[in-house]
Amino acid sequence: GHIELARPVFHPGFIVKVKKILECICVNCGRLKADSVSDLFFPLLVSHPTTQFSGGSLQSYGEPQTRTASVLDNRDVLPPVTRSARVFDRLIAAWTAAYSDPTFADRIRHIRDPKARMQAVWNYCKSKMICEPDEPKDDNDNADDEAKKGHGGCGATQPQVRKEGLKLFVQYKRGKDEDEEVKSLQPDKRLFPPHEVYTALKKVSESDLHLLGLSVEYARPEWMILTVLPVPPPPVRPSIAVDGGTMRSEDDLTYKLGDIIKASANVRRCEQEGAPAHVI
């Protein structure tokens, strides 16, 4: 059987992973804070080289000064989004700058392991403090020009996620030019409850899940939050005889499951009665 919890609860075994995912996505709209379209360095960091280039890899293009020419000769095997002249030229410039940094070049090699890919994406996204929106359209632009595709974010400022015990907190950095009235409306640090985390993780798209090293079928991030608790069968928690007599006592696991059912019922009752958030 199972117990349907009144509210989502953090899983102790996954709370660190949940924190890492939250630092990679926008807590407001659920988009990854970097993508392969608006951020030219990002594809180099997370994409599988053999899928980007026909049977080749980043290392097969020779030394840094010759790699640009080799990539230019292989324009047709680039992803469709990079084939336009304008985007292609920007991408080549980014590649040239990337290869001039040996530490960055080490980070963009084959990342086939999903865990390593998540680590690379996390290292890249954790310092981004804004969900980049698309650039506003200019009325002077020609309608025939190719539309520039941006990140498509919501523009929300991203907080720092902090873990304290089995709780997560979000902390926003305040700018010096912000009014005192605005600062007082939203606290610098507040609790990030599991139900808000669950809602944010449900917004992550399938394409972003792949970049994060997760799976749509087997490892969606919101599944790391407990909403339903499985109940083991009686053979797993058998009753025991008390002092060798006829009296039977339930297993400790059975008592704990009973406590969970009572606590969940109390939370559900408080929600129906409109109790304040700190009581729930």
- State the pLDDT confidence band at 48, using cuts at 50, 70 and 90: very low
Query: Per-residue pLDDT for 144 more than 50?
Result: no
Nearest to 125 by CA among 64, 63, 54, 45: 45
Per-residue pLDDT band at 243 (split at 50, 70, 90): confident
Whole-number Å distance between alpha carbons of 205 and 98: 28
CA distances 70 to 59, 60, 111, 161, 182, Å, are 11, 9, 22, 42, 53
State how far the Cα of 29 lies from the Cα of 35, in Å rounded to an integer.
14
Question: How far apart are alpha carbons 278 and 263 in whole angstroms?
Answer: 15
Burial class (CB in 10 A: 0-12, 13-18, 19+), 184: exposed
Per-residue pLDDT band for 275 (boundaries 50, 70, 90) equals confident
Residue 170 corresponds to which tokens in the numbers above?
A: 């979000």
Give this prediction's pTM: 0.68
